[in-house]
């Protein structure tokens, strides 16, 4: 197998992207008093959903209640169903405003959905004072504009923060992007590498849950507003704040009386011990007889027999979402006042947390929060603005060693790149062996496992702020492959001819070459020291056999080497076979049964 020169890698793109991956999240330092550090949130995805079958050039979003022009026609104003007002001067860029003039609502009585080709149900109309052929329409699918007196319409939703996100359903994993619930029992996904709009997604799980709520409501005679199923455990909450729990899939129930604090909005259940659960409640009705004062967060360790109040100093506003990390006791709640974090012993009652606001999100209600499966990243859904993610603040209190490629804890191999999340280290050792530290920031430190590592376990001791910190021993394997992915699950795949990053907008082609940047492929020949960039010529090759699968079918591997000029990155190149079914395909690396994360690649003829 000839070792071709890797001149096709776009150095500027590769270097910047590799740094972004090796330091996947940017974080601010923890506050001096030991409370939650200021999270640095990153926005994932856009504000709008692909228009699909809505017969519109562009995208759709959430409901817009009002639309009007300024007196001179230079500015277009809208008001969303969330009550937020925005303005645009160029019909592309929107800015929040509180200075919008007050004008009468248009009379739209008698107009039916789809009138004049406008998608959705019209809620308001406005005609430009400087051009009678220019019309703006507010509908339940966003805001649209016609420049020809209503003969055709274009979307103005792309940059408008009006995504009707209600819940986080799935986070990026194994080639799938983040999937969200939209108001109206719809679902959307931001596929890895997507750069335009959310795509409509399968909503069968949303409909199934709605049917379950309806069935439970019919049996109990009350409106069920939340339900969570985990194994044989079923938890349900009602519109008047009642909590119900079953350990035998609904055959029998524990009923906790209504608190009067508002509807139960979401219930988190510990998957390792389903007797432990946390429920959050919406806004308390003005005329409610509150039995448990300010009960916005309740917690049980008895399968619903007894619940204790964890609301403490949480603002007296509606809470919409909740997630928790059992090991650290961290609890995160999404409320009308933003996202809050607190800590409590989830295995016992009575230890109410002190809640701390996590700044950095838009100052609008947060609809949901969710931790990834490793408890490393915290995700938030924000009304109108969509999805955000950050390093979970509890990682600063409980640092963890993960694979640097995808932030998953797994075995390591000689040469693997690993990250210590939540700690800025100055030195790391394994026994009497020095582990190279490649980069260190307040939120994460990147290391490389020596190529000559010995034994089956690697016990790390790090120096953090002059203090020693030990970690559970890592399993050492001959190979532990992982493909580098970005925040939204986008894999680091390059076109072998142009060096351009492959994504949904730039697909691979049959007969072309794909370069995969990975970690954990193990020993190389000739031997190479850790912490040193690979040479540009006569680059060391992977000693083990590397297999790559595309939609579970093996493809030809033309080379597997250290990425020239980079530290700790491997480059695996494959030739794309002639594909019958074009579109997204699953790709992964296999080395003797050690399988990497699965990623998504787009292929065209």
**Mean pLDDT to the nearest integer, 159-174:** 95
The whole-number pLDDT of residue 52 equals: 73
pLDDT (tens digit per residue) in 87-111: 999 999 999 998 888 787 777 766 6
| pLDDT over 60 (residue 205) | yes
The whole-number pLDDT of residue 39 equals: 65
What is the band of 206 on the pLDDT scale with cuts at 50, 70, 90?
very high
Percentage of the chain exceeding pLDDT 70: 89
The whole-number pLDDT of residue 286 equals: 64
Give the CA dihedral 14, 16, 19, 20, nearest 10 degrees.
Answer: -110
Q: Which residue has the tokens 């197998």?
A: 1
CA angle 456, 458, 459 (to 5 degrees): 135
Query: Which residues are CB-contacts of 482 (< 8 A; sequence separation ≥ 6)?
Result: 403, 405, 406, 408, 410, 518, 519, 520, 596, 597
Element (H, E) at 15: helix 11-22
| pLDDT over 80 (residue 85) | yes
Q: Which residue has the tokens 């000739």?
A: 526
299 vs 39, higher pLDDT? 299
**Mean pLDDT to the nearest integer, 124-144:** 93
Angstrom distance (rounded) from CA 395 to CA 343: 12
What is the band of 260 on the pLDDT scale with cuts at 50, 70, 90?
low
The whole-number pLDDT of residue 17 equals: 37
With beta carbons less than 8 A apart as the criterion, state whether 432 and 462 touch: no
The rounded Cα 237 to chain-centroid distance in angstroms is 26
| pLDDT over 60 (residue 75) | yes
What is the band of 56 on the pLDDT scale with cuts at 50, 70, 90?
low
Angstrom distance (rounded) from CA 157 to CA 154: 9
| pLDDT over 80 (residue 434) | yes
What is the band of 288 on the pLDDT scale with cuts at 50, 70, 90?
low
Give which of 304, 321, 401 is closest to 331, Cα–Cα.
Answer: 321
The whole-number pLDDT of residue 318 equals: 95
Give which of 351, 349, 354, 531 is closest to 434, Cα–Cα.
Answer: 531
The whole-number pLDDT of residue 151 equals: 87
Average pLDDT of the chain to the nearest whole number? 89
Q: Give the largest Cα separation in the chain, rounded.
A: 81
| pLDDT over 60 (residue 7) | no
The whole-number pLDDT of residue 110 equals: 60
Phi and psi, residue 493, nearest 5°: -120, 135
The whole-number pLDDT of residue 11 equals: 38
Percentage of the chain exceeding pLDDT 90: 76
The whole-number pLDDT of residue 258 equals: 74
Angstrom distance (rounded) from CA 198 to CA 215: 31
Q: Which residue has the tokens 């120096």?
A: 463
Query: Which residues are CB-contacts of 534 (< 8 A; sequence separation ≥ 6)?
Result: 528, 540, 561, 562, 563, 564, 565, 566, 567, 569
Query: Which residues are CB-contacts of 208 (< 8 A; sequence separation ≥ 6)?
Result: none
The whole-number pLDDT of residue 505 equals: 85
The whole-number pLDDT of residue 475 equals: 97
| pLDDT over 90 (residue 294) | no
**Mean pLDDT to the nearest integer, 383-403:** 95
pLDDT (tens digit per residue) in 495-504: 999 999 998 8
Structure tokens at 211: 């049917």
Structure tokens at 311: 């609301």
DSSP 368-398: EEEE-TTS-EEEEEETBTEEEEEE-GGGGTS
**Mean pLDDT to the nearest integer, 579-591:** 88
What is the band of 55 on the pLDDT scale with cuts at 50, 70, 90?
low
Between the alpha carbon of residue 507 and those of residues 179, 290, 582, the distances in Å are: 22, 57, 10
* Structural domains of the chain in order of their starting residue, each with its CATH number: 49-155 (no CATH), 165-392 (2.130.10.10), 481-604 (2.60.40.10)
Q: Is the dihedral of CA 12, 15, 21, 27 positive or negative?
A: negative
| pLDDT over 50 (residue 28) | no
| pLDDT over 90 (residue 558) | yes
């Amino acid at each position: 197998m000839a070792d071709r020169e890797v001149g096709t890698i776009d150095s500027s793109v590769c270097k910047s992207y590799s740094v972004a991956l090796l330091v996947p999240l940017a974080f601010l330092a923890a506050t001096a008093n030991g409370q939650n550090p200021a999270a640095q949130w990153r926005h994932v995805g856009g504000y709008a959903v692909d228009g699909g079958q809505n017969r519109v050039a562009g995208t759709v979003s959430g409901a817009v209640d009002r639309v009007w022009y300024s007196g001179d026609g230079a500015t277009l104003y809208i008001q969303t169903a969330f009550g937020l007002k925005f303005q645009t001067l160029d019909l592309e860029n929107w800015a929040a405003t509180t200075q919008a003039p007050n004008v009468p609502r248009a009379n739209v009585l008698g107009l039916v959905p789809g009138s004049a080709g406008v998608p959705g149900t019209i809620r308001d109309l406005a005609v430009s004072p400087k051009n009678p052929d220019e019309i703006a329409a507010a509908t339940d699918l966003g805001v649209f504009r016609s420049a020809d007196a209503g003969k055709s319409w274009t979307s103005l939703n792309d940059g408008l923060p009006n995504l009707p996100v209600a819940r986080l359903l799935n986070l990026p994993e194994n080639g799938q992007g983040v999937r969200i619930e939209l108001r109206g029992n719809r679902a959307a996904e931001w596929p890895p590498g997507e750069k335009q709009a959310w795509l409509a997604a399968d909503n069968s799980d949303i409909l199934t849950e709605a049917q379950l709520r309806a069935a439970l409501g019919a049996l109990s005679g009350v409106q069920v507003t939340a339900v969570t199923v985990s194994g044989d455990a079923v938890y349900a909450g009602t519109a008047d704040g009642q909590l119900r729990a079953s350990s035998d899939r609904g055959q029998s129930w524990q009923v906790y009386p209504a608190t009067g604090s508002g509807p139960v909005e979401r219930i988190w259940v510990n998957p390792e011990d389903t007797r432990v659960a946390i429920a959050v409640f919406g806004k308390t009705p003005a005329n409610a007889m509150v039995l448990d004062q300010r009960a916005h967060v309740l917690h049980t360790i008895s399968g619903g027999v007894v619940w204790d109040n964890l609301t403490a100093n949480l603002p007296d506003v509606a809470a919409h979402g909740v997630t928790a990390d059992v090991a650290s006791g961290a609890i995160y709640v999404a409320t009308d006042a933003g996202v809050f974090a607190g800590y409590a012993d989830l295995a016992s009652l009575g230890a109410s947390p002190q809640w701390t606001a996590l700044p950095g999100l838009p100052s609008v209600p947060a609809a949901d929060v969710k931790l990834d499966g490793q408890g490393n990243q915290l995700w938030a859904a924000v009304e109108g603005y969509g999805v955000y993610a950050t390093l979970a603040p509890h990682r600063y209190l409980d640092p963890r060693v993960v694979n640097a490629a995808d932030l998953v804890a797994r075995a390591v191999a000689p040469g693997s790149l690993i990250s210590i999340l939540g700690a800025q280290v100055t030195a790391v050792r394994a026994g009497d062996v020095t582990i190279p530290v490649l980069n260190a920031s307040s939120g994460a430190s990147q290391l490389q496992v020596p190529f000559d590592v010995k034994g089956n376990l690697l016990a790390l001791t790090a120096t953090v702020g002059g203090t020693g910190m030990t970690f559970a021993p890592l399993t050492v394997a001959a190979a532990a492959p992982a493909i580098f992915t970005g925040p939204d699950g986008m894999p680091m795949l390059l076109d072998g001819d142009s060096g351009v990053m492959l994504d949904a907008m730039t697909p691979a082609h049959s007969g072309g070459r794909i370069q995969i940047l990975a970690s954990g492929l193990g020993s190389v020949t000739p031997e190479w020291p850790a912490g040193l960039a690979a040479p540009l010529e006569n680059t060391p090759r992977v000693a083990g056999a590397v297999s790559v699968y595309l939609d579970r079918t093996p493809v030809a591997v033309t080379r597997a080497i250290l990425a020239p000029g980079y530290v700790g990155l491997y480059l695996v190149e494959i030739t794309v076979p002639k594909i019958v079914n074009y579109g997204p395909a699953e790709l992964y690396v296999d080395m003797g049964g050690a399988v990497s994360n699965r990623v998504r690649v787009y292929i065209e003829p």
